[in-house]
Chains A and B, each alone.
Chain A
Amino acid sequence: MSEPKTIYDKIWESHLAYEDEGDCLLYIDRHLIHEVTSPQAFEGLRMSNRTVRRPQNALAVADHNIPTTDRALGIGDEESEIQIQTLEDNCKEFGIEYIKTSDKRQGIVHIIGPEQGFTLPGLTIVCGDSHTSTHGAFGALAHGIGTSEVEHVLATQTLIQKKAKNFQVKINGKCNDNVTAKDLALSVIGAIGTAGGTGYVIEYTGEAVESLSIEGRMTLCNLTIEAGARAGLVSPDQKTFEYLKDRPMSPKDDEWDSAVEYWKTLASDKGAKYDKTIEIDAGNLTPLVTWGTSPEDVISIDGNIPNLEDIKDDSKRSAVKRSLDYMNLIPGSPIKGVPIDRVFIGSCTNGRIEDLREAASILPGKKVSERVSAMVVPGSGLVKEQAEEEGLDKIFIEAGFEWREPGCSMCLAMNADKLSPKERCASTSNRNFEGRQGREGRTHLVSPKMAAAAALAGCLTDVREMVL
């Protein structure tokens, strides 16, 4: 009998196109492309007279630069417009399917891949974006690549890779009410640190992970890169197959049946070996919030900001001091009650329908605090459409939120949606780095429900108290 394998081992082995003493070519099944990290790759192809090996394996959309105001008003920024037009032109030249900005399928790459059934279990998926880890929620090996690698995939449909190590994050038990996939992910990053997963592929297992919806698994895998691992994985199950059935690009008829049969063999084998394992008890978790400028700076909403003298490591202490100065927070004080100016609900981390439902669930009959400007940016046109069918847009608007068009928006603030200097934001996005949401802007990462609660209260607050 062959040795028990992890799902990562299986996908890796089934995609090795060439191997010679650790020099491996991994075949790439799917390539998502957006406007920011691709122009130089296409230019590289042209300069060396190369072509795209399999344009059918790629799908392109503009998301990073796109304004979230009325699309009829145009892009409104010359450089962004050039970059988006360049993507459209490159796709046309090389025969790659491009979802136009006016198409209702347009949205954040990591949201439209699954929606279209472009993302499937057992595939290798890449994109010039670190949050490509999102697609691991389907049991696909998916990770971010740089522009040189984008060019390499376009030209060869492969990547030069070294096998990573296996890291199992087992999340036992059940989540308490108001504790979401975002809180699970932040707790993992808090536990292992932003470099904890460097060199590994993380596989999430355990009851709490199995209980998560597909949307929740996407949130969890999305944030894997913030723990340093390029890829996160959840073994596919019945929920995965149900989500994908009848999606526009999913296999059909007999091919669907054969695919499902194959996908059922992907789950990690009993007794598979992991190079590292940690266990977390979901039952112990509370809603979380970040206090600093690294996603590992996580505390419970009822916790206190760290005291500098409690930190023994010199470089960590000086990093914390820098963070707290930047965030303008008082060491040792409670995080609950810190006043906020902005709320952002959206991004590839938390811009899916379930996220919007969760955030909207606490809003009826309530109003956003006068001191807060709050916005919802659905992750795609289809998410927006679904939310409008369910009447979520009205709930948000009546509470005082702005209801925007889809895109990456204030997660990275490449378009006009950004924080002004010193503004403080409760955000459902993925990075609280210095300047991430705008120069001198201050970001607190939270779940969609916690973001909605903060919008109502005008400060970071405990959603559990608000719901009761």
Chain B
Amino acid sequence: MEKFSSVKGISAPLINKSGNQLSLMMNVDTDMIIPKQFLKTIKRSGLGKNLFDEMRYDSGGKEIDSFILNKEPFRKAKILIAGKNFGCGSSREHAPWSILDFGIKVIIAPSFADIFFNNSFKNGILPIKLDEKIINSLIDVSMKGEELEVDLIDQVITLHDRKIEFDVDPINKDCLVKGLDDIGSTLEKVSFIDEFEGELFDKRPWDIPS
């Protein structure tokens, strides 16, 4: 996994319109992020072109002009801004794979679904939870195409001279910053697993098929 320290770039807000009211899209689900027809792949790569496929292309495969990621400068977005419960639905890791393959490294939302949140870190994407009011205050500048800088080391988002701090779990942060391989670090603790498994055979043999 690539090491993550900071990202500077265009941020794209996912917006719903109701009359003149603009609000961040809530409950963006994994079927929206990457529809099922693209889950037939046996690879991790190449899914970026199908990110948000049904919102991004019409049924003939033509780009829908009004969708944010089809507009300049958002085609180059590195940061995604959305409403609460982002990534709800299935456990498909194709969702973060498609986001990353598009070029997005940071997602800012008031809340995330658990499995998606976890899957993001495993793929070098930083999901940031911020208060909804703070996120709403970013929409205008984001729509103007101004760049944000997200610094993971100092846990701060910079926009001109404004600084917004964010929280991140120290273990998740460490993995991202060092680009750690989870499996490698777990295998360093293999003696604990061996010991646990040995006891399990004695204590609850039905737990462990032989």
Contact = CB atoms under 8 A, between A and B. Distances in A.
A392 to B, nearest CB: 29
A260 B193 CA distance: 26
A333 interface: no
B171 A23 contact: yes
B158 interface: no
A40 B112 CA distance: 24
B42 A156 contact: no
A25 B42 contact: no
B115 A145 contact: yes
A146 B119 contact: yes
B39 interface: yes
A17 B31 contact: no
Contacts of A433: 29, 31-32, 89
Contact of A151 (B40, B171, B183, B200): B183
Contacts of B186: 25, 152, 155-156, 158, 160
Contacts of A195: 27, 84-85, 88, 111, 113
Interface in A34-68: 36-37, 39-40, 43, 48, 50, 53-54, 56-57, 64-65
Contacts of B5: none
Chain B contact residues: helix, strand, loop or mixed: mixed
B126 to A, nearest CB: 16
Contacts of A130: 89-91, 115
B133 to A, nearest CB: 12
B6 interface: no
Interface residues of B, number: 65
A435 B54 contact: yes
A334 interface: no
Interface stretch (B16-24, B63-71, B73-81): B16-24
Interface string B194-208: 011100100011111
Task: Determine which residue in B123, B181, B190 has the highest number of CB atoms from chain A within 10 A of its CB, and name it.
Answer: B190
B40 to A, nearest CB: 4
16 contacts: A56-B210, A82-B40, A83-B41, A122-B204, A128-B93, A148-B119, A156-B186, A156-B187, A156-B193, A255-B206, A315-B24, A315-B132, A318-B21, A319-B25, A319-B26, A433-B31
Interface of A: 14, 16-18, 22-23, 25, 27, 29, 36-37, 39-40, 43, 48, 50, 53-54, 56-57, 64-65, 77, 79-80, 82-83, 86, 120, 122-123, 128-130, 132, 143-149, 151-152, 155-158, 160, 162, 194-195, 198-199, 228-230, 249, 251, 255, 258-259, 262, 294, 308, 314-319, 321-322, 412-414, 421, 431, 433-436, 439-440
Given A17-B196, A194-B88, 6 more contacts: A14-B204, A17-B197, A22-B171, A156-B187, A160-B171, A434-B32
